[in-house]
Structure 1
Amino acid sequence: MRAARYYGPKDIRIEDIEPDTVGSNDIRVEIAACGICGSDLGEYVGGPITIPDEPHPVTEEHLPITIGHEISGTVTEVGENVDITIGTNVVVNPIIWCGDCQYCHEGNYHLCTSGGFIGLSGGGGGFAENVVVSAEKIVPVSDEIPIALAALVEPFTVGVHAVERSGLKSGNTTAVFGSGPIGLTVLQAALAAGAGPVYVSEPNEARRALARECGADEVIDPTEIDPVSYIMGETGGGTNTTFEVAGVEQSVNQALTTTKSGGTTTIVSLFEETISIDPNNIVMHEQTVVGTAAFKGGPLSGREFGTTIRNFETGVFDPTPLVTSRINLNDLVADGFEILLDRNSEEAKILVQP
């Protein structure tokens, strides 16, 4: 089968490889679509970061590996111990865990000390014609959801988990700094939880337009207006809940400053470099700062994914605006990675359809 193999920075090759065999507890998924994630871009430019150049402690794989983790597709083969019908549409929860560390014993598989992600840590990947995964990583989706759009269940579940971690309550004034794909999922998840009004700060014009389309009450261009002063003025002192989804030092400090005394700032972004903040801003205003790491894995895989799937089915979440292009596997680098790395690009989520 064809698969995108990561060899190192700026070195992704579309190759013919032998498909994995299906074990007794495994499922083969014919891939309908796989989204390009910001973490994929980070690996492409500056990796290997989470991709192992030594054997991974769980998958025992190392470079080169097949990449891609925002996966949707159809079951085409099942192991003898698996009770799922061939032809079922599914998404993959890509969390990898060891099962032996304290976090796995606590049920926090996504915090596993040896953990990782399918498509980043071995275990197959979504930029391929098919993938074999253990049955516990599979979450069925109904035929009501277009199978290609189901690839966005994974990033939307990042938003669901972030909002749950934030403790957001109905009626909370909320700010979202950054409206890339994950920022847009956080926005929709916050709105679904009853947040309002919701302010979004985003310098990219195309992404500001998407934030409006996804339901933001007000969208701010931080290159024209100071978002902190504006939001604090509009809210009478700051927001109850703030999300940082831009991944730069300035936006973190803006988010912390925008949050009212006693409020909560949730940091969703991953950072390639250490940043500086003023902790007095947190201490003197008794703020809570929360980190959020992806979503639940293990036997709990279906819970947060199930919330996202129900919201897709009912129309509470609308993934359609996020998908700005669909490309073939052969065009992954030129029409996918390289386009998304252009800061002036109008693309949001690019789906690869093998």
Structure 2
Amino acid sequence: MKAAVFKKKGFMAVEEVPTPVPREDEALVKIKYCGICGTDLHNYSFGITAPGRVLGHEWCGMITELGKGVQNFSKGDRVMLYKHKRRSSPRLRLNPRAGYSSPSRRMGAYAEYLAVPTSRIIRIPDEVSDKQAATLEPLVAAIHAIRLGKIKISDTVAFIGAGPIALLMIQRVRQAGARAVYVSEPVKIRAAKAAELGANQVFNPFKEDVIAEIVKLTGGKGPDIVYECAATKNTLNQACQLVARNGRVTCLAVYQEPITLTPLDWYTMQPEIKFTTNGDSTPFDWEIGLEVMINDQIDVETTISTIISLHEIQETFQTLLDPSKNTMLRVLVEP
């Protein structure tokens, strides 16, 4: 089979690799879509993952083969990733004590096939499309971050960065009763989509004083909640300078390089600061995410701009990492 194999920092190559054989209690899944995640971009650009590995974990597909002992799934089942160890049912059920771990021991989903333990997959409901299924994990991350922010009706909310997860969050915070939503985003396509999905005003941080503008719009107070989704050198400081006194800052961004912080500026505002990543989500978040998707409460497909083949993955990663060239939102790989 073909797979995009990580070779070195900043480079992947599509190669022929052995098709995995499902072990006991595993299923072999033919991958339909795998989303390009910010974690993959970090691993790729900083060389964090080991050479020879295959990235990709936001996937969906169809079971083509079953390992010994599998009883709850059948060939032809449409399935998607579930990051928490499920107990017995092939449907998603709440397990508050479940812990996160990687769904596949051997390979990611930038490949034609993936062998995965059946405890880490769930069937895709008939109401959910393949494109939606490949977006469930970022939707779950968005829901978890919103819960951490403890949004209340009439809160004002600001986003620093409007990547795919932030675009999902903008829709949900509006539904949760946010009084106003402000966004800082330099990439044109992301800024335009943020406005389309409900942001009251979107600012280009390269051209405008975002802190001054948003503070003015909130009557000198600052937003009640700031979501830091950019992970650039100064954005965490900006979030803490922007937020209202005793407000909440939730950081979804993943920093791979050292950043300079100036906590003295924070003492005045005394924000509550929380950090979260995709791996922090709970089984409850997954249940809510699937429910939201089934009921069309958030339009996840509107955040998908591009579908590429495996052979386009190297060029696409390079483009996504260059804000001056990027004209894409969420990208799905179709092996």
Residue among 93, 114, 124 paired with 2:82: 93
Residue 115 of structure 2 aligns to a residue in which SS? strand
**Partners of 2:132 and 2:293 within 8 A in 1:** no
- In the alignment, is residue 263 of structure 1 matched against residue 254 of structure 2? no
**Partners of 1:29 and 1:130 within 8 A in 2:** yes
Q: Distance in 2 between matches of 1:284 and 1:163?
A: 25
Residue 290 of structure 1 aligns to a residue in which SS? strand
Equivalent residue number for residue 328 of structure 1: 309
Aligned amino acid, residue 242 of structure 1: V
Q: TM-score normalized by structure 1?
A: 0.84
- In the alignment, is residue 136 of structure 1 matched against residue 119 of structure 2? yes
Residue among 182, 199, 212 paired with 1:199: 182
- In the alignment, is residue 319 of structure 1 matched against residue 300 of structure 2? yes
**Partners of 1:243 and 1:268 within 8 A in 2:** yes
211-220 or 84-93, larger mean C-alpha shift: 84-93
Residue among 29, 45, 64 paired with 1:76: 64
Aligned amino acid, residue 329 of structure 1: L
Q: Distance in 1 between matches of 2:143 and 2:293?
A: 12
Residue 238 of structure 1 aligns to a residue in which SS? coil
Listed as ranges, the matches of 1:201-280 within 5 Å are 201-236=184-219, 237-280=221-264
Q: Distance in 2 between matches of 1:225 and 1:82?
A: 58
Q: How many residue pairs get matched?
A: 322
Deviations 1:295-316 (A, max 9, x none): 457xx54x32232222222222
Aligned amino acid, residue 284 of structure 1: T
Q: Distance in 1 between matches of 2:56 and 2:135?
A: 13
- In the alignment, is residue 28 of structure 1 matched against residue 28 of structure 2? yes
Aligned amino acid, residue 339 of structure 1: T
Q: Distance in 2 between matches of 1:17 and 1:159?
A: 34
Q: Distance in 2 between matches of 1:6 and 1:82?
A: 34
Q: Distance in 1 between matches of 2:186 and 2:299?
A: 23
Deviations 1:240-280 (A, max 9, x none): 11100011132222211111111110111011211122213
Distance change (3 Å), C-alpha of 1:304 and 1:74:
farther
**Partners of 1:214 and 1:318 within 8 A in 2:** no
Residue among 309, 315, 321 paired with 1:341: 321
- In the alignment, is residue 109 of structure 1 matched against residue 92 of structure 2? no
Residue 343 of structure 1 aligns to a residue in which SS? coil
Distance change (3 Å), C-alpha of 1:193 and 1:88:
farther
Q: Distance in 2 between matches of 1:198 and 1:64?
A: 43
**Partners of 1:4 and 1:66 within 8 A in 2:** yes
Equivalent residue number for residue 60 of structure 1: none
Structure 2: which 5+ runs fail to align? 86-95
Deviations 1:204-235 (A, max 9, x none): 22110011122222212223331211211222
**Partners of 2:223 and 2:242 within 8 A in 1:** yes
Aligned amino acid, residue 77 of structure 2: T
Structure 1: which 5+ runs fail to align? 54-62, 97-105
Alpha-carbon distance, 1:321 to partner: 2.3
Q: Distance in 2 between matches of 1:108 and 1:235?
A: 41
- In the alignment, is residue 289 of structure 1 matched against residue 273 of structure 2? yes
**Partners of 1:69 and 1:94 within 8 A in 2:** no
Q: Distance in 2 between matches of 1:11 and 1:222?
A: 30
Distance change (3 Å), C-alpha of 1:337 and 1:216:
same
Q: Distance in 1 between matches of 2:296 and 2:57?
A: 24
Q: Distance in 2 between matches of 1:293 and 1:343?
A: 22
Aligned amino acid, residue 311 of structure 1: V
Distance change (3 Å), C-alpha of 1:141 and 1:191:
farther
Deviations 1:298-343 (A, max 9, x none): xx54x32232222222222112222111111122112x21221221
Q: CA RMSD in A?
A: 2.2
**Partners of 2:11 and 2:314 within 8 A in 1:** no
Equivalent residue number for residue 137 of structure 2: 154
**Partners of 1:11 and 1:44 within 8 A in 2:** yes
Q: Distance in 2 between matches of 1:223 and 1:95?
A: 40
Q: Distance in 1 between matches of 2:83 and 2:16?
A: 23
